[in-house]
A and B are shown apart, each in its own frame.
Chain A
């Protein structure tokens, strides 16, 4: 039987989910609102959520069914006739409630709101892996796996059967025979391995604001792809005129002053794939972000590398062009002219500002590849 509090809690979660969905565009554009809590939880401020609460009267100031009042006399309230000091505030009151949401739940909410299709892994289901599923109960096992609820249910069942259960004084005392333990079965499951490779231009023309856009977009992309694949791997490449594979911290906090050669990032990415992620075993997603101000003669070399090396290896190649103070660069036009706007593997997106992140994510992940 479901307890009342569980029903209430479920209802509360539904309301929270609804509020998050309603405000998702805002959360995506201003990801500073979202606080990370460990690896799997985020904390989200949900505005305007009225939580029911008791309202108390004042002690000794009367109430229903007490005192000398006549029928129709207003109850409670009165008594304070003095003139108060100070004025009412002019700003609306704040009703911000921080709720913890798992990344999995957040991904589901995002998928519903952005109408994202579930990803179909690319032909990797012939790779299988043994996985332990805790889906059965046994009479023996380690204490760490003791199933308390089942143990007490078994004890209750035994006491009722032996007529030792007193409903007016319900004491359940499990004995050794009542103990139940969780147990696992090994199942063979198809495994789809996936790697996400982020490439970012960190040349002098990429400002901190632009990198913030990249960071925000990468967070939501990670959230969705992690929901779709178990144990997804994420790798980072930064480049100006030269490229290197770096860790996450370096990726988001490096600013170089060198020129922009996108081909250097493509070369580094191709080398990384060749060394560590054979295309026969991995679903490969590449996300590249730049202001598109590639130095003149490098466009052709970049496009050649993309067409001949990266595209055949990837499930999806997404290029996000982030607008710099000098406007959006010309690289995206070069890609459009070569690959068109409806290429099966390339998705192009111009990200003018933070508000455009929402549509960019929808564009990138809406392909279901």
Chain B
């Protein structure tokens, strides 16, 4: 059973929940050295909203800065189906960390929304959506996607660390 199939199974087990009683529901699936953790804030028949989607893999434990940058560059080409395209904004080869963000971010009056995907050496990819309003600290907001996009996203993030 692949990780994506395990996630599908867990989603079916949850059923349709527009609001989880404790605020969120965590999906957690592991296959071999790769683990997917996702905190869902809503789940419908067509789509879901997640606070974060994280892929952890020991395969990246010893990755060089260049390898991490390659993964970032590959993901920026692969993830073309989100609300905005994402691109590598900052890459720190020494620390082995790459930051990708929506390019450009979505802007409505004095607020901006954007995806942020961090790829870290040591083996973590973490995707979140943020909203920044002038004069207020930025905050993570749920990222809404269809079920189809969500599963594709899981598959692409897992494939990136393979």
Contact = CB atoms under 8 A, between A and B. Distances in A.
Interface in A228-285: 240-242, 257-261
B137 interface: yes
20 contacts: A204-B89, A204-B90, A204-B91, A204-B99, A205-B89, A240-B92, A257-B88, A258-B90, A258-B92, A259-B95, A261-B92, A325-B104, A325-B105, A325-B112, A326-B112, A326-B114, A327-B112, A327-B138, A328-B134, A330-B137
A260 B110 CA distance: 24
Contacts of B138: 326-327, 330
Contact of A326 (B94, B95, B97, B105): B105
Most chain A CB within a 10 A radius of its CB, from B89, B90, B93: B90
Chain A interface, >50% SS class: loop
Contacts of A258: 90-93
A203 interface: yes
Nearest to A242: B94
Given A204-B90, A259-B95, A327-B134, 10 more contacts: A241-B92, A242-B94, A258-B91, A258-B93, A261-B92, A295-B97, A326-B112, A327-B138, A328-B132, A352-B134
Interface residues of A, number: 19
Contacts of B90: 203-205, 240, 257-260, 295
B101 interface: yes
B128 to A, nearest CB: 13
Contacts of A260: 90
Nearest to A256: B90
Given A259-B99, A333-B137, A326 B91 contact: no
B132 A327 contact: yes
Contacts of B99: 204, 259
Contact of A257 (B91, B94, B101, B132): B91
B65 to A, nearest CB: 10
A241 B137 contact: no
Contacts of B134: 327-328, 352
Nearest to A204: B90
Interface in B14-70: none
Contacts of A333: 137
Nearest to A205: B89
A326 B139 CA distance: 12
Nearest to B99: A259
A322 to B, nearest CB: 14
Contacts of A203: 90
Contacts of B133: 327
